[in-house]
Structure 1
Amino acid sequence: MACALMVFVDGASARAVTETYVATLRATEAGRGASGTVTFVSETNRSNEEVVVITADVRGLTPGKHGINVHENGDVEGCDDAGKCTGGSYNPEKRPHRGPTSLKKFGASACHGRYDGCILNRHIGDLGNIVADENGVSTTTIKDLYTSLKAGEKENIAGRSVVIRAGKDDYETDEDDGNAGPIILYGQIARK
């Protein structure tokens, strides 16, 4: 469900729209006993740029870091026990696998915003790692300036799938989303 808020200032109107999507996670054979959700909320920052706030609320993990990525395919009905129906990491511009803040600077200017002096130098789907505590619980929040929940944007991840892997994403290796091991949880990013 989308929620719209209209704000009127000195006779002019400004509109802030919040989109919310949720992925209810399914465990693979490798992730047996794990469960949770990943929530995606589109917000607008002070520079009027979209920021997607991603919150992983997951239980049953081994303590430590676990790679989290958006994959190409959203149709996960009838998926096999390994989560392979999710496809590969979402990468429409064929960039290398890297960390969530990997940018490529051009020109002499510094990177201040989404298009100001830098381009993204990672898969759109490379979100980094979530962290599970000693009880196997993660309530990690990630803010990503380079994904979108807006229709028509090539960075739009709505309707795709999110996966969580058994281990830590090393931000370098293409295989298994940063050598992070098998998929243990996956789910479609669906409108709430």
Structure 2
Amino acid sequence: MVALHASASVAWAGEATYAARLTPTRAGAGASGEVEFSLETNRANQEVVVVRANVRGLTPGKHGINVHENGDVSGCDDAGACTGKSYNPDKRPHHGPTALKKFGASACHFVGDGCVLNRHIGDLGNIVADENGDSTTSFKDLYTTLKAGTSNSIAGRSVVIRATADDFETEEDDGGAGPIVLYGSIVRK
């Protein structure tokens, strides 16, 4: 008998890592960095996207991070407007990364178990910059993917980092987080 052991976090075979090299806007002058996205499985054998942000030159504190609709940022203006709006194919309200909405009489523990995702696909939350303005943040998102052909795929779109924290309520400026300070296309690495 052969025993198979699975790692707690396994990359999906055949799936590439994606990354966005970040460009500063006028509001983010002096900031730089990269956000990397990889597809892995968690301990419950669920597909998750691991987001790793390595950013410098931000103001200390929280900064909203969102995926936007448009991936081609080659002709962007100095405010990052070419990125479009927060990616929201299901027309859900703006909320935090784990926002779920209950339906029916059953309990709501995860999508498909009496609840639906109640946020934009692009709502990833906040990263935190230290007192030097640097952020090396890593987190997992259960509700996005890098697999092509699905409405929740963020591959080929853009990622933006905002001037301040996402409040997870306000629709405008990705949770009232102010102007875009950094942006970049999410492309295969």
Tell me the TM-score normalised to structure 1 length: 0.89
Q: CA deviation at 1:89?
A: 0.2
Deviations 1:66-86 (A, max 9, x none): 000000000000210000000
> Which residue, 113, 121, 141 being the options, matches 1:144?
141
Identity of aligned residues (%): 73
From 120, 124, 128, the counterpart of 1:123: 120
Contact 2:68–2:87 under 8 Å retained in 1:
yes
8 Å CA contact 2:160–2:184 kept in 1: the answer is yes
Structure 1 distance, partners of 2:32, 2:138, is: 17
Paired AA for residue 155 in structure 1? N
Alignment of 1:1-192 (within 5 A): 16-17=12-13, 18-192=15-189
Q: Which runs of at least 4 in structure 1 moved beyond 4 Å after TM superposition?
A: none
The 3-state SS of whatever aligns with 2:16 is strand
What residue ranges of structure 2 are gaps of 5+ in the alignment?
A: 5-10
TM-score by length of 2: 0.90
Structure 2 Cα separation of the partners of residues 36 and 43 of structure 1: 23
Farther off after superposition, 76-85 or 108-117:
108-117
AA partner of residue 22 (structure 1):
A
Q: CA deviation at 1:116?
A: 2.4
- Distance of aligned partners of 1:23 and 1:91 in 2 relative to their CA distance in 1, 3 Å threshold: same
Select the structure that is richer in strand.
1
Unaligned runs of 5+ in 1: 1-7, 10-14
Aligned length: 180
Deviation at 1:140, TM superposition (A): 1.0
Letter in 2 for 1:39: E
